[in-house]
Amino acid sequence: MLDRAGHSFPESAAAGSPAWLQSLIDGLCTLSSRDPLTGLPNRRQFEAALEQEIDRVARSGEPAMLLMLDIDHFKHINDTHGHAVGDLVIQAVGAALEDSVRPMDSVARIGGEEFAAVLPSCPAAFGHTVAERVRRNIEALRIAIAPGQIVTVTTSVGGAFAPQWVRSSGPLWLERADQQLYRAKSEGRNRTCLESPPISEVSAEERGMLFGAAPPLLPQDNESAP
């Protein structure tokens, strides 16, 4: 199983040795956290990265953006060309997404034809430019499926910004980005929809996650100094 996933054991390590066992553990950890088709992190690994980024934003106040992407009319690709071609398309889109962002960004396949990326230190002023670069790079793909035959694909992209200084949650952030993805699809697909401007007010759930509550004002605090 590990061999099929591309994992190799150290040549100098005998089976059952400490080095061999450590390599086995490392390989199994990688296998459990990666999507086998694209090699990208899977949803479970991505959700862990998302929670880490939320914690960083809450502590530092730095901006971060979450993108969700869906391949447009993917069922038509499978129905027309077969699932093997569908797999090629998913692999190509995953690679294009990864090539369109920074090494520090976290990219994942989170299900079927859906991908996501969390971009630390991405302010609202740059968000649309980054999201459009991703969309355009995927639109420009020419995916060879047979000699002399190619397919092209487009994606709908939705994005949301993490509330700064707020102890939010991964599901709430994903829900916001998913709402924008739904808007992009309902407006015709092959487009980018982001929260603009970033949400400044937080939900009831997020208010409950704030770092403590400010102490109430005492009567003398409102009195002017003589």
- The pLDDT score that the predictor gives to residue 1 is 46
- CATH number of this structure's domain 37-200: 3.30.70.270
Spatial distance between the Cα atoms of 46 and 129, rounded to a whole number of angstroms = 23
Distance of CA 56 to the CA centre of its chain: 16
pTM to 2 decimal places:
0.76
- The pLDDT score that the predictor gives to residue 164 is 75
CA atoms within 13 A on the CB side of 11: 0
Question: For residue 45, which of 60, 32, 61 has the smallest C-alpha distance?
Answer: 32
Three-class DSSP category at 84: helix
Low-confidence ranges of the chain (pLDDT < 50): 1-7, 9, 20, 24, 26-28, 199-200, 211-226
Spatial distance between the Cα atoms of 210 and 74, rounded to a whole number of angstroms = 40
Residue carrying the six token digits 């937080």: 202
* Residue 182 DSSP one-character state: H
- The pLDDT score that the predictor gives to residue 167 is 77
**Could you report the per-residue pLDDT of 69-109, keeping only the tens digit for each?**
999 999 999 999 999 999 999 999 999 999 999 999 999 99
The residue ranges of every structural domain in the chain are 37-200
